[in-house]
Each structure stands twice: as structure tokens, then as C-alpha cells.
């Protein structure tokens, strides 16, 4: 069984990783990576305090106005205690976030935060409709519950790698969300493409989507009408977006791409506001936190290495650009000697 | 457990969390009446575009006993409904879900959606007569010229508090 698990693990890494993992493996400088990862976790809980605080007036308004509660499973028990309990769940999330920020090594506080925040987001979505703005943030909290305890004085290498494995898993999960989004765009675009009718891969694909959104709700996005009229501008951007989202999961174990995918997806969220008035502020924060500030991002990299790491296109770029760049190549001997 | 043995377990975390999420997001909803199990989601948002679109919409015919000169789409009635003024996307989501529930012959779900529309989104008026209509249109053409190729009444409702 252990051998089978080892084999599955190695094969998965082989598929997802860069073709030259030894030149910059995801766990290459675990000392500095661990420090960055611990800072990331603390910042997450600080930002969670801020988010829980922002949610308080929303939930207060909901409690005051709503007659149509349809409680989701994490908060189905709340009506037993009356309306006052609803608002205290959000306060609980705020307090638990503060405690987790101050004492990030205490798992009990992290568990409490995950439960309270799950409840708080559950309350916001208990009106019969689902808003997905906070889903990813909830999952970060759930993943961080699994962070292992480290020996404070001298954490062992294996302990550090266990900690970083949880961070890598959290990154992979967030990238999976984007891969899902890309998969559906690709899937629903493929049929019309094969049938020769207008769909996601047609030049007016995005423009049709934007027009439908404007008609649906009567919004007036800043650049919506301009892009619909000048759809040749949006066409390549939409194709790049589908690619970036579809292959996002492969980026999890290619740390040289973390920065680019982080900023790329932040730009995508900026685009959804400018073109559709769809607002995902928490995602901007978590992309910045997990990928722009990725603990695994290398200190040195070249454009060529980044291009070679690109999923799908990297294969062809490597064919064109065979000679390794000695100046920036990862020193395997030095790495092995550590 | 030794530190290394613990790492051997923890290194599987990325695989397990991703695998578990995929499983529940895709298959979990089959065991529940709701389309998704919170906080799992398959992230299919604005996935398909087409020049040949079918959408459900709410067409209001009268408000508080006063028939409108011409039936109006809910989102066009900004002076009457707060959620129209706010351009609340949830109105459109619930409307699509109501149409879908009727199409799939799920009367209980359709009733829940209708209650939500009337109690929450139409809370500004005591009495509203409205139709659930299916619109067939080309989005760009409709945006530029207002043309709707086809409009079919799926159901007619009346919200009234006695």
C-alpha cells in the first residue's frame, strides 16, 4: 500500500511539475520558504479579522430585513436560538481570527475560526441564492487547520516540509477553482466550435457574454460597451484567459509561474469589474497572498525558464530553445550537498 | 509519530484535498436537492456564450392593482422595486432557477423560488401580477436594437397579501 501511495505521489508530481524540477524544485530553500509561509498564514488571519468586521453590517441588515431565511447546513441549528445568535456567529469569526493571528500555532483557534467563518458565510448565503465571493477564503481557513505543529526551537526538516506541503495543497486547491472555471469555458466552447456556430472560441464570444450580462441586470460597466463594439480587442484576451484558467492547476508545482499567474488572475478579476461589474475583492487578496507573495517563488529566474515552464506551450518553446542557460541554471551539486 | 513519518502523511495533503474537492463538487450535488453543496462549487460561472440565447425573465403586468400601460421587465422597474434599482443579480439567478424547476417538473422547488421572488425581490409592492417568460434573442443585437426574436409565457403569477 505504501509503495502504491509513493508511486501515485511521484507520478502526480511528475505530471504537474516543471520538466526541470531539479533546477528549481518546489522545496528548494525550505528555511526561507517556511518563514514566508508562516508570515502568509499570520497575514491570512489578520485579513480574516478585517473581512469578518466588514461582514458585520451586512449580516445585521439581513437579520433586520429578511423574511426568507433558507438556512444552509452549517447554520441550520441557528433558528433555535433566535436572531441574536445569527449576528454572534460573525463576531465569533472575528474573535477567532484575532486569536489565530496572535497565536498562529494553536490549532484550536484555527479550528474555531474555520467553523465560525464557515457559519458566517453560510448565513450570508442562506437567502436561497448562492454568492461565491467568500468560498475560497473559507477553504483557506479549512486547509490551514491541517498545518502541523513545529518544534519552536529547532523545527526539523521533515516538519518544515510537512508545513509547506499544506501550503502547497492550499495553493493547488485555489488553482483548481480557476481550472474548473477554465474547464467549463473550454468545454462549452468546444461544442459550438465543432458545430461551426458562435460560442466561446468565436471572435464575438466574450462580447456576447458581456451583452447578455448588461441586458440581464441593466448594469453599465465602465468598458462593457466599448469592448462589445471593438470585440477584436477582447477576443485574444478571452483566449488567453481560458488558457490561464484551464491550466492553472499545473502552475501549483511550477513556482516560477506563481507570480505571473497571481498577477494574471488579479487582472482577470479587475476585468470582470470593468467589463461586467462582477466584484470578487477577496479573490484579489488571496491571489496576492498565495501567489504574488508565494513562499515558493524563486529568487532568481529568467524569461526563458518561465516560458519553458508554461503548460502546453513550454513543450514547444523547449524544442526551439534547447541550450540550457548555464548562468541561471540551478546548481544541482550544491543543492545535493545541503 | 516521528517527524519523517509525519511528513510522509502530510505530503499527500495536496492530492487528498484536491481529489476530495473534485469528488464532492462534481458528484456531491447528486445526493442533495440543491444544485451545490456549500462550500463546494464546480465554478461554472459565465461559462457559455452564444448568439442564440434563451433566458427566463419576469414581466410585470400590474402593481398594487394598477395595470401598467405596457408590461415591463422587472429590471426596468427601478422606480418600483429596490432590487431592480440595485441591479441585484440574484433576481436573475432565482428567475432562471424557477424556470428550470418548472421545466424539470419540480413543483416544491418552483414554489420556494416563487416565494423568494415575491417575498424578497418584490417586497416593495403588496400586489403584483407578473409572468415568467422565456426570451429568445441575440444578446448583441438586443443590446443595440432592442430586438427580441421570441417571447413565450411560461407561467403567470399573482403576488397578493390578504
Judged against a pLDDT cut of 50, whether residue B10 lies above it is answered with: yes
Contacting residues for A309 by C-beta, under 8 A, at least 6 apart: A18, A19, A254, A256, A257
Judged against a pLDDT cut of 70, whether residue A219 lies above it is answered with: yes
Which of A125, A217, A252 minimises the CB distance to B92?
A217
Highest mean pLDDT, choosing among A45-49, A206-210, B41-45, B109-113: A45-49
Tell the burial category of A252 from Cβ atoms under 10 Å away from its Cβ (0-12, 13-18, 19+).
buried
Judged against a pLDDT cut of 50, whether residue A22 lies above it is answered with: no
Share of chain A above pLDDT 90, in %: 62
- Dig out the grid coordinates for A308 from the structure: 519553458
Instruction: Give dist(CA A27, CA A259) in Å, integer.
Output: 17
Beta-carbon separation of A161 and B10 below 8 A: yes
Helical residues (DSSP H) of A196-250, grouped into ranges: 205-217, 224-229, 231-246
- Contact between A307 and A317 (Cβ < 8 Å): yes
Reported as a pLDDT band with limits 50, 70 and 90, residue A19 is low
Which of B11, B46, B119 minimises the CB distance to A165?
B11
Sheet strand arrangement including B53-63: B66-73, B53-63, B128-137, B150-159
- Contact between A279 and A219 (Cβ < 8 Å): no
B-contacting residues of A 288-327, CB under 8 Å? none
Tell the burial category of B133 from Cβ atoms under 10 Å away from its Cβ (0-12, 13-18, 19+).
buried
Number of residues in chain A: 338
Instruction: Give dist(CA A236, CA A253) in Å, integer.
Output: 27
Q: Does B17 touch chain A (CB under 8 A)?
A: yes
Judged against a pLDDT cut of 60, whether residue A323 lies above it is answered with: no
CA angle, A204 as apex, B55 and A240 as ends, to 5°?
A: 110
Instruction: Give dist(CA A41, CA A333) in Å, integer.
Output: 32
What is the average pLDDT across A123-137?
91
- Contact between B87 and A217 (Cβ < 8 Å): yes
**Chain-centre distance for alpha carbon A286:** 6
Q: Does A156 touch chain B (CB under 8 A)?
A: yes
Phi, psi at B151, each rounded to 5°: -140, 120
Residues of A in contact with B21 (CB under 8 A): 139, 173, 176
Beta-carbon separation of A128 and B92 below 8 A: no
Beta-carbon separation of B41 and A128 below 8 A: no
Q: pLDDT at position B131, please?
A: 95
Share of chain A above pLDDT 70, in %: 87
- Per-residue burial over A70-107, b if 16 or more Cβ lie within 10 Å, else e, is ebbebbeebeeeeeebbbebbbbbbbbbbbbbeebeeb
Q: pLDDT at position A26, please?
A: 62
Beta-carbon separation of B47 and A66 below 8 A: no
Question: What mean pLDDT is reported for chain A?
Answer: 88
Query: Which is higher by pLDDT, B6 or B86?
Result: B86
Phi, psi at A325, each rounded to 5°: -85, 100
Q: pLDDT at position B5, please?
A: 77
- Dig out the grid coordinates for A33 from the structure: 520558504
Q: Does B24 touch chain A (CB under 8 A)?
A: no
- Contact between A149 and A98 (Cβ < 8 Å): no
Q: Does B151 touch chain A (CB under 8 A)?
A: no
- Contact between A310 and A261 (Cβ < 8 Å): no
Beta-carbon separation of A216 and B39 below 8 A: no
- Contact between A147 and A106 (Cβ < 8 Å): no
What is the average pLDDT across B35-39?
85
Q: pLDDT at position A15, please?
A: 64
Judged against a pLDDT cut of 50, whether residue A1 lies above it is answered with: yes
Min Cα separation B20/chain A (Å): 10
Q: pLDDT at position A20, please?
A: 56
Summarised one tens digit per residue, pLDDT across range A284-296 is: 999 999 999 999 9
Name the pTM for this structure: 0.87
Instruction: Give dist(CA B4, CA A24) in Å, integer.
Output: 22
Q: pLDDT at position A330, please?
A: 52
Q: In whole angstroms, how far apart are CA B45 and each of A66, A122, A313, B154, B159? A: 26, 20, 26, 25, 31
| Rg value, chain A, Cα | 23
Residues of A in contact with B26 (CB under 8 A): none
Summarised one tens digit per residue, pLDDT across range A188-209 is: 999 889 988 888 999 999 999 9
The kind and range of the H/E element at A248 are none
Judged against a pLDDT cut of 80, whether residue B158 lies above it is answered with: yes
Instruction: Give dist(CA B60, CA B121) in Å, integer.
Output: 13
Nearest C-alpha neighbor of A204 from the set A226, A224, A230: A230
Q: pLDDT at position B112, please?
A: 87
Reported as a pLDDT band with limits 50, 70 and 90, residue A152 is confident
Beta-carbon separation of B21 and A276 below 8 A: no
Judged against a pLDDT cut of 50, whether residue A326 lies above it is answered with: no
Nearest C-alpha neighbor of A182 from the set B50, B26, B47: B47
Residues of A in contact with B14 (CB under 8 A): 165, 168-169, 172-173, 252
Which of B10, B18, B55 minimises the CB distance to A148?
B10
Q: pLDDT at position B46, please?
A: 87
Q: Does B38 touch chain A (CB under 8 A)?
A: yes
* Residues in a beta bridge with B55: B135
Instruction: Give dist(CA B21, CA B42) in Å, integer.
Output: 9
Min Cα separation B126/chain A (Å): 15
Which one of B45, B47, B57 would you mutate to disrupt binding with A, by most A Cβ within 10 Å of its Cβ? B47
Instruction: Give dist(CA A244, CA A197) in Å, integer.
Output: 24
Beta-carbon separation of A208 and B87 below 8 A: no
Reported as a pLDDT band with limits 50, 70 and 90, residue A123 is very high
Amino acid at each position: 500500500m505504501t509503495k502504491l501511495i509513493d508511486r501515485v505521489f511521484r507520478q502526480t508530481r511528475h505530471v504537474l511539475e516543471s520538466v526541470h524540477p531539479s533546477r528549481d524544485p518546489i522545496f528548494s530553500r525550505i528555511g526561507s520558504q517556511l518563514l514566508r509561509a508562516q508570515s502568509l498564514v499570520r497575514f491570512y488571519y489578520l485579513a480574516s479579522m478585517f473581512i469578518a468586521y466588514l461582514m458585520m453590517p451586512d449580516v445585521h441588515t439581513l437579520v433586520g430585513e429578511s423574511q426568507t431565511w433558507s438556512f444552509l447546513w452549517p447554520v441550520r441549528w441557528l433558528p433555535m436560538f433566535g436572531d441574536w445568535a445569527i449576528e454572534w456567529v460573525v463576531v465569533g469569526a472575528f474573535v477567532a481570527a484575532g486569536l489565530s493571528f496572535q497565536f498562529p500555532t494553536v490549532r484550536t483557534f484555527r479550528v474555531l475560526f474555520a467553523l465560525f467563518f464557515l457559519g458566517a458565510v453560510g448565513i450570508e448565503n442562506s437567502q436561497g441564492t448562492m454568492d461565491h465571493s467568500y468560498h475560497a477564503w473559507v477553504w483557506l481557513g479549512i486547509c490551514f487547520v491541517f498545518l502541523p505543529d513545529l518544534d519552536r526551537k529547532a523545527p526539523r526538516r521533515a516538519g518544515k516540509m510537512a508545513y509547506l506541503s499544506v501550503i502547497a495543497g492550499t495553493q493547488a486547491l485555489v488553482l483548481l477553482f480557476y481550472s474548473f472555471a477554465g474547464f467549463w469555458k473550454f468545454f462549452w466552447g468546444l461544442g459550438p466550435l465543432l458545430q461551426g456556430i458562435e460560442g466561446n472560441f468565436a471572435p464575438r464570444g466574450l462580447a456576447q457574454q458581456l451583452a447578455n450580462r448588461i441586458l440581464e441586470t441593466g448594469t453599465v460597466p465602465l468598458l462593457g460597451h466599448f469592448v462589445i463594439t471593438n470585440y477584436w480587442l477582447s477576443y485574444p484576451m478571452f483566449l488567453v484567459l481560458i488558457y490561464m484558467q484551464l491550466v492553472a492547476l499545473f502552475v501549483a508545482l511550477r513556482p516560477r509561474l506563481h507570480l505571473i499567474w497571481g498577477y494574471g488572475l488579479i487582472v482577470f478579476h479587475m476585468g470582470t469589474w470593468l467589463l461586467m461589474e462582477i466584484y470578487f475583492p477577496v479573490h484579489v487578496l488571496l491571489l496576492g497572498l498565495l501567489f504574488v507573495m508565494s513562499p515558493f517563488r524563486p529568487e532568481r529566474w529568467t524569461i526563458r525558464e518561465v516560458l519553458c515552464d508554461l503548460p502546453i506551450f513550454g513543450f514547444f518553446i523547449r524544442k526551439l530553445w534547447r541550450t540550457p542557460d548555464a548562468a541561471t541554471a540551478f546548481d544541482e551539486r550544491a543543492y545535493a550537498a545541503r | 509519530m516521528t517527524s519523517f513519518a509525519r511528513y510522509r502523511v502530510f505530503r499527500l495533503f495536496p492530492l487528498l484535498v484536491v481529489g476530495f474537492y473534485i469528488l464532492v463538487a462534481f458528484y456531491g450535488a447528486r445526493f442533495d436537492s440543491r444544485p451545490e453543496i456549500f462550500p463546494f462549487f464546480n465554478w461554472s460561472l459565465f461559462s457559455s456564450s452564444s448568439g442564440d440565447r434563451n433566458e427566463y425573465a419576469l414581466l410585470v403586468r400590474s402593481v398594487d392593482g394598477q395595470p401598467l400601460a405596457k408590461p415591463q421587465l422587472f429590471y426596468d422597474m427601478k422606480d418600483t422595486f429596490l432590487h431592480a434599482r440595485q441591479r441585484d443579480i440574484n433576481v436573475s439567478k432565482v428567475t432562471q432557477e424557477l424556470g428550470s424547476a418548472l421545466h424539470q417538473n419540480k413543483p416544491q422547488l418552483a414554489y420556494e423560488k416563487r416565494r423568494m421572488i415575491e417575498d424578497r425581490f418584490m417586497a416593495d409592492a403588496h400586489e403584483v401580477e407578473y409572468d415568467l417568460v422565456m426570451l429568445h434573442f441575440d444578446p448583441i443585437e438586443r443590446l443595440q436594437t432592442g430586438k427580441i426574436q421570441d417571447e413565450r409565457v411560461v407561467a403567470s403569477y399573482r403576488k397578493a397579501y390578504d
